[in-house]
Chain A
Amino acid sequence: MKICVLVKEVPDAAVEKKINPSTGRMDRSGEKNLNPYDTHAIEAAMQIKEGGAVPVEEIVAVTMGPESAVRALHKAVSLGADRSVHLTDEAVAGSDVAATGYALARTLQRESPDLVLLGQQSDDGECYTIGAVVAEHLGMPSLTQVIKMDIESEALRCERQAEYGYDTVQIKLPAVISVGDAINEPRYPSLKAIMGAKKKPLDSVSAADVEIDPSKVGGENSAAQWVAAKAPPSKAAGEIIEDEDTDETVEKIVAWLDERKLI
C-alpha cells in the first residue's frame, strides 16, 4: 500500500498573520513552519506502516507551494515520509480552495496512492475542506475530522465527531481521509532523521508535469474571487489581569463577578 500525506507550509504560530493590502493575498513573509495539524497525518501514516496489519511500501509527502515549502517537506520526511513531491509553479499561486484541491489531485494522480491523508485544517487557510475537494477529483470516498482509524484489508473503519455525536463509518480504499488532532500524539523527529531528511528523494514538479489545466488554477482563474478585505467590527477590549499574587488575582476576579451580580 502506498500512502500520500498532504502537507503545507504555514506561517509560524508566533508570526502575526496579515493581508498584504496591495495584492489582497496573505502576507507570506516571516518565519514559516510545517502546518502543525499535518504532523498528525504523517503520524497516522507511520502508525499504519508500523502497525503491520497491511504492508506499506511507501509514505510520500506532497505539497503545493513556493520554493520555501521545501522545508515543510524536509520536516515531513524527518517525521517518517520516505520521499516527497513538491508542486511549485507561478501558475498555481493564489489558487482558491477549489483550485488548490484540483492541483493537488492532479499531483496525487501520478502517484496512484491507496490512501491520501491530510490534516484537519491549515493554520493559515482554515478551510477544513481540501480533503473533500481532492477526493471528488480523484473519484475516491472521503471523510474529514477522523479521530480513530483502523485498517482492515480493503477498508478503513473510521470514527469522527459530527453534528449529532460520534459516527463510525466504513470507507473502502482507495480513500482520502483528513485526520483530527485527537487521532494521535505525533513523535518528535530524531536528530539523525533531521540530518538525513535532505538526502531523501524530493521530486519538484511543474503544473505541466502533472497535466494541470492552466485555465483552472491561479488567482485569476479561481472561481471564488476576493473583492475586498476589511477589519472586523471593533469590540471593546476586555480587562486583563496578569497573575502575580494569586490571592490578589482571586480577590479582583471575585470583585469583578460581584459587580456584575454573578455570585
Chain B
Amino acid sequence: MANILVYALHYDGAINKNSLGAVSEGAKLAAELGGEAHAILLGENVPQDLAASLGKYGAKKALVAEGPEGLAQPLVDAMAKAIADGGYKYALFGGGLLGFEIGAGLAARLGAGVAMEVTSVRAENGELIAERPILGDSAISEIKYRSDVGIIIGRLNAFEISESAGADAAVEQLSFELSPHASQATMLTRGEQRGADVDIEGADILVAGGRGLGKAEGFELAENLAKAFGGNSAVAATRAVVDAGWYPYAAQIGQTGKTVSPKLYLAAGISGAIQHKVGMQSSENIVAINKDANAPIFEFSDLGIVGDLNKILPKLTEAVKAKKGA
C-alpha cells in the first residue's frame, strides 16, 4: 500500500501552516499513488479536534502520540513505530526546522533515503520523485528512492495548503516507546519571543536589514527610510541580526521567521541566503543594496544596487521624503 505519513507540527493549539501544506500535498500525492495520507501529531494532550481537523486538508487518519513537544528524537521513535505498524511508503515534512531533524533522524533509523529542501514532488509509475534545488539554487536535482521508505522534507512554503469541507480525520492513539537517547533532551523553555513585539505582516513596504548594517544602531538607517516611505511600512530583519540581538525576532523573515509578500521589499546589507529568500521571494518588487556584486540576493532582485548602504540609505531617505513632499 502506498500510504504517506505526514508530520503535523502543532503549537499553542494550532497546526503549523507548513504542515497544513504538507498534509494537503501528501493527500494529493497519495491519491495519485492509490493510497491515503495519514498525519501524525505528538505532544502532551494533543486536542482530539485539532487532530481530526486535518481531515479538511485530506488526511484520512490522524495518529496521536503522547510525548515531549518541540524535540525531534521522540518523533523519530513515534514515526518509526507508525511505519513499522502501518506500511507507509513515504514520510513527508513541511518546511521549517524540526522536520529537518526528524526526517534526517528517521532516515538514519530506517536506512531510508532522504531529500531535503524539496520544492516539488510528482508521482510517476507508482513512485514519488522529489525535486531539490542545489548549489545555491543554480540547479535542480531529481531524487528517487531505492529504500522501502522514502523521506521528503519540503522547503518552506513549497507545498500549497488546500482546504475543503472534507470529513474529519479518524483519530487513533499511537503508543510507542521513547528510545534511551530521546529521553536525554529536555525542553526548558519554548518559543521565547526576543525583542519587541513588532507587527510587520500587514506592511505594504518593508525595509529589511541584515548583517551589512554593521551594528544594532545601523537599524536606524532602515527605520528612517521606512518612516520616509510613511503609511503602511515597517522594518524587517534576517536571522543573523536577530540572533545577534540587533533586532526583534518578531521582525525576522525566513525559514524560522515570517513569510511576507509586500508590494516592496527593500533589502539592505542582506546576502540573500536561501533560508531568507524563502520568506520573501513572493514580494511584488524586490530591491537590494549590497556592496558585494556577487551577493546571491542579486539573483532574485528586480533592482540591484551595488554599493555601500551607509552612503546610499541616508540619501535615499532624503530623496524619498522630498518626493513625497513634492
Report which A residues bind B (CB closer than 8 A): 17-19, 26, 96-98, 101-102, 124, 126-130, 132-137, 139-145, 147, 157, 161-172, 175, 180-182, 216, 222-232, 235, 238-243, 246-247, 249-251, 253-254, 256-258, 260, 262-263
Contact = CB atoms under 8 A, between A and B. Distances in A.
Interface stretch (B25-33, B56-64, B107-115): B107-115
A132 B137 CA distance: 23
Contact of A225 (B109, B145, B301): B145
Pick from B184, B264, B298, B308 the residue with the most CB of A within 10 Å. B184
Contact of B300 (A19, A235, A249): A235
Contacts of A227: 129, 142-144
A243 to B, nearest CB: 3
A168 B142 CA distance: 37
Nearest to B244: A182
B82 interface: no
Contact of A223 (B147, B293, B315): B147
B305 A241 contact: yes
18 contacts: A17-B135, A126-B134, A129-B101, A129-B116, A132-B72, A132-B104, A144-B101, A145-B97, A162-B96, A225-B146, A229-B139, A230-B142, A232-B138, A238-B303, A239-B303, A240-B298, A250-B315, A256-B303
Nearest to B119: A232
B70 interface: yes
A231 B96 CA distance: 25
Given A18-B135, A132-B72, A167-B191, A253 B305 contact: yes
Interface string B32-50: 0000000000000000000
A163 B16 contact: yes
Contacts of A224: 113-115, 143-146, 150
Interface in B280-322: 285-287, 293, 298, 300-308, 311-312, 315-316, 319-320
B248 to A, nearest CB: 11
Given A19-B139, A136-B105, A168-B189, A242 B298 contact: no
A251 B315 CA distance: 9
Given A136-B108, A172-B184, 11 more contacts: A19-B139, A142-B72, A144-B97, A162-B97, A163-B97, A223-B150, A240-B303, A254-B316, A254-B319, A258-B323, A262-B205
A207 to B, nearest CB: 17
Label chain B's interface by main secondary structure.
mixed
Contacts of A127: 104, 116
Interface residues of B, number: 94
Nearest to A148: B243
Interface of B: 9, 11-12, 16, 70-73, 76, 96-98, 100-105, 107-109, 111-117, 129, 133-147, 150, 179-182, 184-194, 205, 229, 239-240, 242-244, 249, 256, 263-264, 274, 285-287, 293, 298, 300-308, 311-312, 315-316, 319-320, 323-324
Contacts of A247: 315
